[in-house]
Structure 1
């Protein structure tokens, strides 16, 4: 496998792990968010499930074994109420956008277009949850710290033990 294919496979695996974590996180969001936003949470949950399934196929297409979901994930903060659930949803979307920016950089052609669309969708959902936008979605951490992407060490995507 060429270095480019390895980088693409690695980026896809990180995106798949992020989607697994987002699906889990939206389970929490859906259980805590006020009734008026549950439809939005369900739509996001369904979108992340669909992206997760598509990513698993993409990984297999590159002769990889898709990273498995964990039984549970450590959340970035406690989610006792609807306000915290909304913050969690925005955080999940920011982190998913971040990993898709890595896929955009590592891919070409159709995969790049699909990753760019996933990044855009996550950024739009984050704006809806947060009520405001950020400059350069998927790059906020890099712009603020000059550090590598959060996808390289996403503690929120770490399974709980």
Structure 2
């Protein structure tokens, strides 16, 4: 398989997981947050469908959704649902950053737009941002002592 195809398949798998995750967390939210979750789920379904077409265009067979996905933690209430939404968006942003690195042209632009959308949604859910959305946070290296 080619690198863009592998990255598109990974992004498709992440979108399947995001759609599932929003189905779980949506029932624990109400009011404006529930509406925001429905909008995010719709966006992820749209991206998922688009990626399935992209995978076929790249010569692959789209990865199927699993019947269920393991959640990173229990989601018993609205606070946990908000954390899960931010986590889902971070994971989606990560795979789109890989697709941006491996793709060219229109696919790269689409992946960059999806990365940006996921990063913005993560900020909304989390209430704060990270330095480089889509990239795993790296621990800071110790600062070497100054030479005298």
1:59 is matched with 55
2:81 corresponds to: 85
Name the CA distance, whole Å, in 2 between partners of 1:19 and 1:84: 20
C-alpha displacement of 1:29: 1.2
Q: CA deviation at 1:62?
A: 0.9
The match for 1:104 among 100, 104, 107 is 100
Bigger shift: 27-36 or 108-117? 27-36
Per-residue deviation, residues 8-34 of structure 1 (Å, max 9, x unmatched): 000000000000000000001111123
Q: Which has the higher helix share?
A: 1
Higher radius of gyration, 1 or 2: 2
Q: Do structure 1's residue 41 and structure 2's residue 37 form an aligned pair? A: yes
Distance 1:35 1:89 in 2: 16
Unaligned runs of 5+ in 2: 141-148
Other-structure match for 1:154: none
1:71 match: 67
Match of 1:137 in 2: 133
Residue 35 of structure 1, CA deviation: 2.8
Q: Deviations over 1:44-76 (max 9, x none)?
A: 000000000000000000110000000100000
Distance 2:76 2:119 in 1: 25
Note the residue ranges of structure 1 that are not aligned, 5 or more in a row.
146-161
Q: 2:46 aligns with which of 50, 62, 65?
A: 50
Aligned residues: 141
Query: Runs ≥4 in structure 1, deviation > 4 angstroms?
Result: none
- Please report the RMSD computed on the Cα atoms of aligned residues, expressed in angstroms: 1.5
TM-score between the two structures when normalised by the length of structure 2: 0.92
